[in-house]
Amino acid sequence: MAGLDWQAIHDQYLRELQAARGPEEARAAMSRMIHRLPSSHLAIIPAWAYSRSDLPTGTPQAGQNGKESEDGVTGLMAGLISHRVVVESVDAGSGAAKSGVHPGWIIDSVDGKSTGDLFRSLGEASFVSDIVEQWLSGPANSAVNVSFTAGGKSILRLIEREAPPGQLAQFGNLPPERVRIEYRRNGGK
């Protein structure tokens, strides 16, 4: 694959993994190995990318009847443009809209977690914006600090998370999803 001797690469990185002095060194070795393969969809995601520091110690992870509690949302959609996480859209009436967030703003950090660090760790991974959206979510009626760059200026916003819009629906054996329908009349009567 990609004209490389993968057995030799396996042997080289296996030695590095066996010599690793902890999970971070092991992840670094695996990341170096994966980066040798020209692909934008493979990466070792660092543990810090999954941290949920927004939950106070001892906060239960489940709601009533033992079901997992539903996260709140900020109402902004993130995307990638040239190694930057950018606000693609802002839902009208959402916490992001009420905080004055606009499409096109660059997201620099979420609660102190740097989007630049994600790119340095994961390269051009297409799922960086998904990780950032996970950072933005959290308990409904809580807030998240987001640092943006817009027009060359740094902007800090405290964005309220709200219950996600739409109704919870399930189709067959698929997991439940929120569904909302928006419609507009275009001309005519």
Write down all domains in the chain, each with its CATH number in brackets: 11-44 (no CATH), 73-163 (2.30.42.10)
Using an 8 Å Cβ cutoff, are 80 and 137 in contact?
no
Residues listed for the chain: 189
Q: Which of 15-19, 122-126, 151-155 has the lowest mean pLDDT?
A: 122-126
- Which residues are paired to 94 by β-bridges? none
pLDDT of residue 75: 93
Sign of the CA dihedral with 54 first, then 74, 166, and 98 last: positive
Helix or strand holding residue 9 (H, E): helix 6-19
Residue with tokens 């998904």: 130
In the chain, what percentage of residues exceed pLDDT 70?
Answer: 78
Sign of the CA dihedral with 92 first, then 96, 101, and 105 last: negative
Structure tokens of 20? 């690793």
Neighbours of 8 (CB within 10 A): 9
Structure tokens of 121? 């760790």
Helix or strand holding residue 178 (H, E): strand 177-179
For the stretch 6-48, pLDDT in tens is 888 888 888 888 998 988 788 778 877 877 776 656 666 666 5
φ, ψ of residue 167 in degrees (nearest 5): -105, 145
For the stretch 67-109, pLDDT in tens is 344 689 999 999 888 888 999 999 999 999 999 999 999 999 9
CA 182 to chain centre: 25
For 37-142, where are the E strands, in sequence order?
Answer: 71-72, 76-81, 84-90, 106-110, 113-114, 138-139
